Amino acid sequence: MNDRADTAVKATATDLEGSAFFMPYTANREFKKAPRMLERAEGMYYWTPEGRKILDGTAGLWCVNAGHCRPKIAEAIAAQAKKLDFAPSFQMGHPIAFEFAERLSAIAPKGVGRVFYTNSGSESADTALKFALAYHRARGEAGRFRLIGRERGYHGVNFGGMSVGGIVGNRKTFGTAMLPGVDHIRHTHDPVRNLMTHGQPAHGVEFAEDLERLVALHDASSIAAVIVEPVAGSTGVLIPPKGYLERLREICTRHGILLIFDEVITGFGRLGTPFAADYFGVKPDMITCAKGITNGTIPMGAVLISDEIYEAFMKGPDGMEFFHGYTYSGHPMACAAGIATLDVYAEEGLLTRAAELAKYWEDALWKLKASKHVMDLRVIGLVGGIELHPREGAPGKRAFEAFTKAFDKGVLIRVTSDTIAVSPPLIVEKAQIDQIVGTISEVLATVA
């Protein structure tokens, strides 16, 4: 073993309980007693400091769509760092930000191609909500202040996104600081009627009518926007019922309410189209995105805005149209990474490759139907959710055990509550799909 590798192995073996690093969304004390460390990555794989090879079944965190450490992206970042490391976007500009916006606009759904940069999905959600409020004010309807989310929705961890989100853990801890004027429609999960459904569930279009209930309660004139994930990822891969998104669009249009699609997970090819809006054939007024926008290399996000919203701001008095932004909005290195990422997607057909693999992926995952503990399967595009029966009195423990055992067997999966979520990089091969599913099958057979 070389000195570098030997040092890395010793580092993982070191007692981490006194480490300065407070890890996000992690049981810190449990992790630091038995750490799972990743040292490098390439293509479909991670490697641990000990040299174990780990097949990435989750595209990092839903973001490494083109696979890890792509040379073209790394080279673009390095070159940009040498040319222009940072430039302000407030009252100043730099060419690469404008170039990347045009590239994003070219793959966006028609009419939703104006680009506002952020640094994450959380910031994209909050930015879209602020756009909604400011848009109505610009049109003379400042009374539209209400924001509608959905139960079990996830829109990041900033206060706006948490307020419209419906993840209980987030709301339980920070509930006293949520935004006022927020309400929620019900989620779309209906295990009684839709258990073990292939593709989009047949039942549940009527759940969109819950928005009409809130319109009746609050009056449409007070509602600015509705934000939903086309496919809810972080809550366990919840696929919209047939006709649901179309119906939601109809209701929003009739009442003058903006419809925002949170595509932080579904954007950039995850369903086999550039965006889920394309897959479902539904045009939102705004799309929030991040993650795959730079293949996870440099933190970045964006809000894609309809022409109608953009023009409403441009008709106001001269001066600053939207009092909002971030220091790193349109960061030069992030833009360079994004352009190179779009190049890789285009050269390798990755924005549509999930459509080519979807049938094989679905058939492979459905082999888990008879596996021990499996309660439901939900599969769409190159995403899969395997929901397990929870242990009595210990929700989430069974899935977490499956997660740790899969890691020990060389496959990285993700769990949320008692649902295993898998979403490999879009470069995945059929043999690797078989390995992911085969490992999950083996693991479930041993989980108590």
DSSP-derived secondary structure for 16-37: -TT-S---TTS-HHHHHHS---
Domain termination residue (choose one: 348, 371, 395): 348
Mean pLDDT across the chain, nearest whole number? 95
- What pLDDT is recorded for position 53? 98
Q: Indicate if the pLDDT at residue 5 is higher than 50.
A: no
Q: Indicate if the pLDDT at residue 10 is higher than 70.
A: no
Instruction: Read off the pLDDT of each residue in 209-224 and give the average, rounded to a whole number.
Output: 98
Same domain for 323 and 365? no
Domain termination residue (choose one: 332, 348, 364): 348
Same domain for 373 and 397? yes
Same domain for 255 and 362? no
Residue-wise pLDDT for 270-291, tens only, equals 999 999 999 999 999 999 999 9
Task: Let me know how many helices (H) and strands (E) the chain has, helices first.
Answer: 17, 15
Domain range enclosing 310:
71-348
Same domain for 250 and 387? no
Same domain for 65 and 77? no
Please indicate, yes or no, if residue 53 is contained in any of the structural domains: yes
Same domain for 61 and 177? no
Q: Indicate if the pLDDT at residue 17 is higher than 70.
A: yes
Instruction: Read off the pLDDT of each residue in 207-236 and give the average, rounded to a whole number.
Output: 97
Same domain for 57 and 114? no
Residue-wise pLDDT for 51-73, tens only, equals 999 999 999 999 999 999 999 99
Residue 238 near residue 207, CB atoms below 8 Å? no
What whole-number distance in Å separates Cα of residue 298 and Cα of residue 336? 9
User: What is the percentage of the chain residues whose pLDDT exceeds 90?
Assistant: 94
Same domain for 289 and 415? no
- What pLDDT is recorded for position 11? 47
Please indicate, yes or no, if residue 27 is contained in any of the structural domains: no
- Furthest CA-CA distance within the chain: 69
- What pLDDT is recorded for position 1? 39
Please indicate, yes or no, if residue 9 is contained in any of the structural domains: no
Structural tokens at position 430:
């059929």
307-to-25, 65, 284, 434, 444 alpha-carbon distances in Å:
37, 28, 11, 44, 49
Q: Indicate if the pLDDT at residue 12 is higher than 70.
A: no
- What pLDDT is recorded for position 316? 82
Same domain for 215 and 344? yes
Question: Order of strands, edge to edge, in the sheet holding 53-56?
Answer: 40-42, 45-47, 53-56, 411-412
Q: Indicate if the pLDDT at residue 6 is higher than 70.
A: no
The shares of helix, strand and coil residues in the chain, as percent rounded to the nearest 5, are 45, 15, 40
pTM for the whole thing? 0.95
Instruction: Read off the pLDDT of each residue in 316-344 and give the average, rounded to a whole number.
Output: 96
CATH number for the domain including 328?
3.40.640.10
Domain count, the chain: 2
User: What is the percentage of the chain residues whose pLDDT exceeds 70?
Assistant: 97
Q: Indicate if the pLDDT at residue 264 is higher than 80.
A: yes
Residue-wise pLDDT for 95-129, tens only, equals 999 999 999 999 999 999 999 999 999 999 999 99
Same domain for 378 and 333? no
Task: Determine the residue type at 371.
Answer: S
Same domain for 223 and 312? yes
What whole-number distance in Å separates Cα of residue 308 and Cα of residue 432? 44
Please indicate, yes or no, if residue 7 is contained in any of the structural domains: no
Same domain for 356 and 368? yes
Please indicate, yes or no, if residue 148 is contained in any of the structural domains: yes
Please indicate, yes or no, if residue 132 is contained in any of the structural domains: yes
Domain termination residue (choose one: 348, 371, 390): 348
Radius of gyration of the chain (CA): 22
∠ CA 123-126-128, rounded to 5°:
105
Please indicate, yes or no, if residue 18 is contained in any of the structural domains: no
Can you name the residues that pair with 56 across neighbouring β-strands? Answer: 412
Task: Collect all residues with Cβ–Cβ distance below 8 Å to 220 and sequence separation of at least 6.
Answer: 255, 256, 257
Residue 288 near residue 125, CB atoms below 8 Å? yes
CATH number for the domain including 435?
3.90.1150.10
Q: State whether residue 372 is helix, strand or coil.
A: coil
- What pLDDT is recorded for position 169? 85
Please indicate, yes or no, if residue 24 is contained in any of the structural domains: no
Residue 352 near residue 424, CB atoms below 8 Å? no
